[in-house]
Chains A and B, each alone.
Chain A
């Protein structure tokens, strides 16, 4: 019952402490992680957005530069100069030296006829009138095409500008090297999962992506989700891997530069942080749990000890209360019994006196009377002894303080009992501390206590056994142990041994007052008597005598 109470209490304390201390830790950890993750994502988002815009601007600049140089060439040369292929070749060379990335250069008349051409393909003489871009150039003046296959059957795109020369208008057209252009775009590909490519409004690849797909094939991107400026979207594939796409429009919103990046790769820092955090929190958990369990166990242990000490004290208190009450009662009873005993004794005495007169002396029953009176007196004496013992012979007087050597008192007492013990084959051994102080106490009372305890020990053994008597100084007490190897006292009876009239001896042999009186004597000295007994092992009585220093004389 009592044990489960303690375990219950222990469990409650542990649970409450753990909840109270662990919950904030978990909440704190989760919050910090969440915040950190948010910040991390924001940063990644920001980064990819910035890269996308920067790359888009770079590509746009590249196109504008090429367009500008083409415009400059067209504006500074006449139609006649341009159609001269030698001239055109030198212009082409200048352009490639100054700007680069041009594959070829051609001049087209306003009827779509390719009049002059410098470049690796045999495109001279072809008519572009039917080509969709021709009209665009003629109407808008400047045109940058999407990537297409065209006559040369390889993906490329062109920049074309129109020159109005009086009434005549003509077109200067250049093809941009798709490799050079692709390299510029691809320079934004970073990491293991990073990609950078351009798609047109319909989502057709304008440059070759790093993974899946090829130039001029349809990408999976829906370009309509990308608004003006730079838009970042997040996509999750079937494997659950997240990918970020940042798209920036360029070339008058006709092309979309897309930079993509696997989120997982960017998040490695975050994962490391998460692992570190989990480890720290786990360590914290472990430490808290350990500390809680240990301290709780310690507290419960203390509690148990205090409780048992309290119980012991209570038991002692109850015991001494009980004995004090009994003592008072005994004193009252003693008076009531002693008076009638006194009368009986006097009456028998008187009868005895009278019997000695001559007339009775000759009576034939004289002896009978005499004997009977003697018996009555004997039994009055017996009753008187009981009552006197009950009152405690020593209780007549307050402890009378004198210088007492406990060891010599013990030795004297042992001497008194030595013959009695030897007759019963009982050996008495002593182990007395040499340096016990002389104390102020009542020697005859102490002797009575020792006598009672030793007599009890002898009686308990019966015959053949050993009594050990030790004395030692413990704190401010002299402890005397009287140990016998008799049959011991059962636990339920141990509590009763100090009660008056409690005896295990045969009727008439013991009054059951010895221990009671001894207890009282020692209690008056502010000491105590304790019993420790194990059935079958023997019994130890410990007398604690307070050390009171004798007054200096």
Chain B
């Protein structure tokens, strides 16, 4: 659970602010933004492990649209969908687009933490796999990897 970075996207200011404070208190590096646009903006600069995304946000970018974009920017970040509306269609679409799970508001922090942990675990195991693959590659073909990195930087 350490070094765990979460992004919360919700247009409900009071909710956002309180949730961020409470997660901070539990030593989770949390960033809160009020719209999909802001979320995408910040994701371009900073890597996150888990994103908590409100699906229904009146005005601005739709939650599903935001999810799609997020997956382009940070494919490895797990997304937890959150909504006050039990819309079947949205949930199915969200899951198809690679959301980790779907939560209904209001949700107790304890439950949210459990889900966050599960999401992080999944993300972490993904990371692990990638890391070990990279190490194997590096060990086997150090030259090729170095070459690749050089190309990426330039």
- Show the binding face of A for B, using Cβ within 8 Å: 331, 334-339, 341-347, 349-350, 353, 377, 380, 384, 388, 391-392, 395-398
Contact = CB atoms under 8 A, between A and B. Distances in A.
8 contacts: A331-B86, A336-B84, A342-B84, A342-B106, A343-B14, A380-B106, A397-B91, A398-B92
A347 B88 contact: no
B85 interface: yes
B63 to A, nearest CB: 12
Interface stretch (B18-26, B43-51, B120-128, B133-141): B18-26
Contacts of B18: 343, 346-347, 349-350
Contacts of A336: 84
A347 B14 CA distance: 8
Interface residues of B, number: 24
B89 to A, nearest CB: 9
B5 interface: no
Contacts of B102: 396
Most buried by B among A336, A353, A392: A353
Contact of B15 (A334, A335, A343, A377): A343
Task: Kindly name the residue among A345, A384, A397, A398 whose own CB sees the greatest number of chain B CB atoms within 10 A.
Answer: A345
B132 interface: no
A384 B19 CA distance: 18
B104 A388 contact: yes
Contacts of A396: 86, 88, 91, 102, 104
Contacts of B14: 343, 346-347
Contacts of A347: 14, 18
B115 interface: no
Contact of A342 (B15, B25, B56, B91): B15
Interface of B: 12, 14-15, 18-19, 21-22, 25, 56, 83-88, 91-92, 102, 104-109
The 6 closest A-B pairs by CB, nearest first: A338-B84, A342-B106, A346-B18, A342-B105, A335-B85, A341-B106
A350 B21 contact: yes
A398 B92 CA distance: 9
Tell me the interface secondary structure of chain B in the complex: mixed
Secondary structure call for the A interface? helix
Given A344-B106, A346-B109, A380-B106, A338 B85 contact: yes
A74 to B, nearest CB: 141
Given A342-B105, A343-B12, A396-B86, 10 more contacts: A338-B83, A338-B104, A342-B84, A342-B107, A345-B106, A346-B15, A346-B22, A349-B109, A353-B22, A395-B86
A336 B18 CA distance: 19
B105 A341 contact: yes
Nearest to B21: A350
Contacts of A388: 86, 104
Nearest to A351: B18
Given A331-B87, A396-B91, A338 B21 contact: no
Nearest to A384: B106
B58 to A, nearest CB: 10
Contact of A350 (B22, B85, B88, B107): B22
A272 B22 CA distance: 115
B22 A331 contact: no
Contact of A339 (B15, B22, B25): B15
A334 B84 CA distance: 7
A351 to B, nearest CB: 9
A454 to B, nearest CB: 25
Contacts of A384: 106
Contacts of B19: 346
Nearest to B89: A398
B86 A345 contact: no
Residue among A331, A335, A337, A342 with the highest chain B CB neighbour number at 10 A:
A342
A338 B107 CA distance: 10
B16 to A, nearest CB: 9
Interface centre among B19, B84, B92, B106, by most chain A C-beta atoms within 10 angstroms, is: B106
A349 B104 contact: no
A126 B154 CA distance: 188
A506 B112 CA distance: 34
A395 B106 contact: no
B106 A338 contact: yes
Contacts of B105: 338-339, 341-342
Contacts of A334: 84-86
Contacts of B91: 396-397
Among B84, B88, B105, which residue has the most Cβ atoms of chain A within 10 A? Answer: B105
A377 B111 CA distance: 14
Nearest to A395: B86
Contact of B25 (A344, A345, A353): A353
In the complex, which of the residues A335, A347, A391 has the most CB atoms of chain B within 10 Å of its own CB atom?
A: A335
A478 to B, nearest CB: 25
Contacts of A335: 56, 83-85
Most chain A CB within a 10 A radius of its CB, from B18, B88, B92, B102: B18
Contacts of B56: 335
Contact of B88 (A342, A344, A380, A397): A397
B140 to A, nearest CB: 43
Contacts of A392: 86
A353 B22 CA distance: 7
A331 B108 contact: no
Nearest to A357: B25
A392 B92 CA distance: 17
Contacts of A350: 18, 21-22
Nearest to A346: B18
A338 B105 CA distance: 6
Most buried by B among A334, A343, A395: A343
Nearest to B92: A398
B86 to A, nearest CB: 4
Contacts of A346: 14-15, 18-19, 22, 106, 109
B99 to A, nearest CB: 14
Contacts of B108: 345, 349, 377
B12 A331 contact: no
A51 B56 CA distance: 118
Contacts of A395: 86, 88
